[in-house]
A and B are shown apart, each in its own frame.
Chain A
Amino acid sequence: MEKTVKSTLSNKEEMLELLHQMQVIRTFEEQVEKLFQAGEIGGTMHLCIGQEASAVGACSVLERKDKIITTHRGHGHSIAKGMDIGRMMAELLGRATGYCHGKGGSMHIADLDVGHLGANGIVGAGLPIATGAALASKMKDLGYVVVCFFGDGATNEGAFHEALNLASIWDLPVVFICENNQYGMSGSVKEMINIEHIATRATSYGIPGKLIDGNDIIQVMETVQEAVERARRGEGPTLIEAETYRWRGHSRSDARKYRTREEEAFWRKNRDPIALFKNKLIVEEIITEEDFAQLVEQVQKEVNDAVEFARNSPMPSIDSLENDVYA
């Protein structure tokens, strides 16, 4: 594998920023969970706690002009691509100041200004859209790459297969990142897919398939960087399978009967992406435990500010109901 520049631990500031972003995602979501339990957030929510490394690692090698597309579990990707957590929180609280003026909510959050082409409530639907966005980049020579995030479950939808094939035959600048967190809602990959690794599905479409530890942010950065460079050179798409784990249930009311508490404890204890990275930075003497404790505290403040901003924001006006249906 071609070695890339970005992936060294030597750039202290950059490394700290990555750790910071992962911590923001986790604290943001812990806060969202509390607000949901308190009834301040309605509908439903899907948390990506435990999967922070793939979001931050992948987005860290992108330029602002590059695009991402995500899923129902998209808070992490949105934060990593540079969205403001105040406006995100406002969206989850249904406020007028939210990214979608309170009309989209968690499952439909988007910000075209930072190159975020939207979360999606339909499993697998993002893949062909990413393919099309990449097609536009190629046709108009815009130079951006599209990174498309989705889960293991999504790879059983027809849309996955059709999108990969199309992106492949047209050599489109798109990187497909499957965050294999081991489960759809309750269906485990073991039950739902008869091959060992999703990455091997790439073979059917004649594109590279890479299997990585999705909880190791450095590995994520290296692999995505390589795929992005390949895409920029006009050599077409890559499928990356990032192995990870979602710590929480699928959504609001999930008793998690389909998996054991031991399995959950194993991942939390041994494969926490934030702890793994933090420990690496401590070993490399880039930070200390005290620095990290300070970081956690500072992030909590940032998230509290986001909640304050959201709570103090107005509800959308009733008149806005019919706005924006057509351009």
Chain B
Amino acid sequence: MREITYLEAVREAMVQEMRVNNDVFLMGEDIGIYGGPFGLTKGMIEEFGPERVRNTPISESALTGSAVGAALMGMRPIVELQFSDFITVAMDNIVNQAAKIRYMFGGKGKVPIVVRTPSGSGVGFAAQHSQSLEAWFTHVPGLKVVQPSTPYDAKGLFRAAIEDDNPVLFYEHKLLYGLKGEVPEESYSIPLGKADVKREGSDITIVATSIMVQRALEAAKLLEAQGISVEVVDPRTLFPLDEETIVNSVKKTGRVIVVYEAVKRGGFGAEIASLIAESEAFDYLDAPIIRLGGAAVPIPYNTILEQKAVPQIDDIVKAAQSILNKVTV
């Protein structure tokens, strides 16, 4: 099968959906001829014109709020926020409006918007352009949160996000944009709420999200050379969350490490760890659950410190070695 990048996969999903559904349109800053800060929407304005690929002023609040209004009236807007950090400027529209309207209206109306946005650190953009804030939104009933880790998943999950009648936050990772992988040319959909076992193994389960899936797979290769068999589970969507796949994997291996880039404290890893502790998998645990997450610091500019701030392959390898030495009483 042909290989394309993660970035191309997202674009292809948008293009294919826009071709078949005239209600789907794009809004964002510099998404036209400029193609967005990462070039993701390049060529789209040429195909669909400025009505459906709408270049907006720098107005995240009005932009997201107007997507909510358009969606309520039957459109399916895709909003690009140039960096996921800017979501804070659009917070009211996402948290108080998009997430709650349907419920507050007694089940009337729906808000099918997709907010897609690059997140994460690793390119030296410092504290206001590198955050991983996705966990915040899992705390808000009414929102769905997607975090693809491969080109294949990105394309299929994007279609599902567009087809979903709820507001969906679609988190892309800057460092994944260049990642190549096999992606079918035809349109397909991956259901939200379905995890993927990215690698099978028997000694340890690593539940990882976004870029950490790739790091966990690299770590698994190194660990395999040391005779340690690692299973890597990628939830792909933080909400809806596929608890069953996670629980089944932990029952099989008896050991689990949760790895994510966001600040560990108060993060989504705690959610996964407690769901395991509350499930039947608890009885199968041979060691305490380990969470690996970002340090509780804003992302620093200096690249050495930046790397130190979030889990790297080596940290995952060390955590795996240490969990094998720990035994529950």
Contacts and interface: CB of A to CB of B under 8 A. Distances in A.
Interface stretch (A6-14, A185-193, A303-311): A185-193
Contacts of A193: 57
A42 to B, nearest CB: 4
B296 A43 contact: no
A233 interface: no
Contacts of B30: 184-187
A107 interface: yes
Contacts of A320: 305
A312 B124 CA distance: 21
B302 A124 contact: no
Interface in B293-327: 295-298, 300-305, 308-309
B59 interface: yes
Contacts of A91: 301
A44 B296 CA distance: 24
Interface in B271-312: 295-298, 300-305, 308-309
Nearest to A193: B57
Most chain A CB neighbours (cut-off 10 Å) among B30, B123, B309: B30
Given A104-B126, A157-B89, A186-B33, A124 B58 contact: yes
B125 interface: yes
Given A107-B129, A122-B85, A321-B297, A192 B57 contact: yes
B302 A103 contact: yes
A121 interface: yes
A102 B57 contact: no
Given A105-B124, A121-B128, A191-B55, A94 B302 contact: yes
Contact of B58 (A157, A191, A315): A157
A102 B300 contact: yes
B32 interface: yes
A299 interface: no
B37 interface: yes
B58 to A, nearest CB: 4
A12 B78 CA distance: 58
B58 A154 contact: yes
Contacts of A100: 301
Interface residues of A, number: 42
A102 B128 contact: no
Contacts of A42: 123-124, 303
Contact of B57 (A94, A104, A156, A322): A156
A261 interface: no
Contact of A186 (B34, B59, B86, B297): B34
A108 interface: yes
Interface string A167-207: 00000000000000000111100011100000000000000
Interface in B35-93: 37, 39, 55-62, 85-86, 88-89
Interface string A142-172: 0000000000011011110000000000000
B140 interface: no
A255 B211 CA distance: 29
Interface in B111-154: 123-129
Given A43-B126, A121-B129, A104 B301 contact: yes
A14 B129 CA distance: 39
B110 to A, nearest CB: 26
Question: Which DSSP category, helix, strand, loop or mixed, fits chain A's interface?
Answer: loop
Contacts of A187: 29-30, 55-58
A43 B304 contact: no
B59 A321 contact: no
A102 B58 contact: no
B61 A158 contact: yes
B305 A108 contact: no
A318 interface: yes
B297 A102 contact: no
A325 interface: yes
A181 to B, nearest CB: 14
B296 A156 contact: no
A94 B301 contact: yes
Nearest to A186: B34
Nearest to B303: A42
A185 B29 contact: yes
Interface string B232-244: 0000000000000
Contacts of A107: 125-126, 128-129
Nearest to B129: A121
A318 B308 contact: yes
A153 B78 CA distance: 22
A316 B57 CA distance: 38
B126 A121 contact: yes
A123 interface: yes
B301 A108 contact: yes
A258 B33 contact: yes
A257 interface: yes
Interface in B187-211: none
A185 B28 CA distance: 12
Interface string B8-40: 000000000000000000000110111001010
A321 B308 contact: yes
Contacts of A322: 295-297
A121 B301 CA distance: 12
A316 B123 contact: no
14 contacts: A43-B123, A43-B125, A94-B301, A100-B301, A102-B300, A103-B305, A108-B126, A108-B128, A122-B85, A156-B57, A184-B58, A318-B308, A322-B296, A325-B296
Interface of B: 29-30, 32-34, 37, 39, 55-62, 85-86, 88-89, 123-129, 295-298, 300-305, 308-309
